[in-house]
Amino acid sequence: MNAAATAGTWKLGDLEVNRIGYGAMRLTGNGMMGNSDGQPIDREAAVDLLHSAFEQGVDHIDTAAFYFSPLRSANEIINRALSSWHGDVVVVTKVGPARHPSGEWLGTVRPDQLRGQVEENLRQLGRDCLDVVNLRAAGPRTASIAEHFGALAELRDAGLIRHLGLSAVLPEHVAEAQAIAPVVCVQNSYGLDWRRADESGLVDLCGEQGIAFVPFFAVSGLRREAAAGQERDARVQLVARAHHATPAQVRLAWTLHRGPHVLAIPGTRNPAHLAENIAAGALRLTEEELALLAQPGEGTA
């Protein structure tokens, strides 16, 4: 069994994937807005990193056309890596927010503009059909997503998209979308320090409906796009020592223990951290440790 398979598998529609995946945001630098040190990531090193992930069993990647820095595009790097890889890899991208080539955020596109974003992803990834496209909700949290999701459903019917998902949504958005077309995954910020998806019932709702729940910022927590800092949660440190694991591994394991439908998409530019993230799928926490981590701690929302 490869390393990424130790956490088990889940299906995104008819596409079965290992629950440990890879988030491509950091391929372009430290977050979406560019490199923290001003230096572009080396393309070949990035391709080698992805090949290493694939060799360890990672078979799904999270990306977006708006993951770019001045000289690098996550989709372009993924395209290059997949062109020289012979295995099957599911690519999950997202649409909705728009960025100017300068990096400036332009807000959310209109429903009739989503086709252009889908076609941009197709061009950058070198594909004729996108495996999964998530609609990332923006604007007022309670605003309807029906028009935007309906536009993506039409593109799915036209053969440009295989499956549809959602990102940054509320439970009512899932119900709204499911009335239009099947939802195979929901991506929301979620982790030990940010549990709104538990409070709203979203994690359980996804499990009940067979929808993959895919947390982002599960390791970085409240630091969001920034790289994870030094672990300050004593509970996490205690559990990590007991398993001879890293705090990041404990945080990932905690999310995976939340249910068999929960996936992980940690991102990194560091090969050692990549291996550690993938190995977190084999970490089994005890009931006592899960109870300890379930208690509200510093920074818990």
Report the first-to-last Cα separation within the chain, whole angstroms.
36
In this structure, the strands spanning 90-95 and 97-99 are: unpaired
125-128, long-range: CB < 8 A, 24+ apart:
125/63, 125/75, 125/78, 125/79, 125/82, 125/91, 125/93, 126/79, 126/82, 126/83, 127/91
Do 221 and 232 meet the contact criterion of CB atoms below 8 Å apart? no
Length of the chain equals 301
Residue 113: partners with Cβ closer than 8 Å, 6 or more residues away: 98
Axis-axis angle for helices 114-125, 146-157 (nearest 10): 50
User: Residue 67: helix, strand or coil by DSSP?
Assistant: coil
How many CB atoms neighbour CB 242 within 10 A? Answer: 13
DSSP letter assigned to residue 191: B
Active site residues per annotation = 67
| Number of Cα atoms under 13 Å in the Cβ half of residue 98 | 14
> Pairing mode, if any, of strands 161-167 and 183-189?
parallel
- Kindly report the number of other CB atoms within 10 A of residue 98's CB atom: 18
Is the distance from CB of 261 to CB of 206 less than 8 angstroms?
yes
Cα–Cα distance for residue pair 238/287, rounded to 1 Å: 15
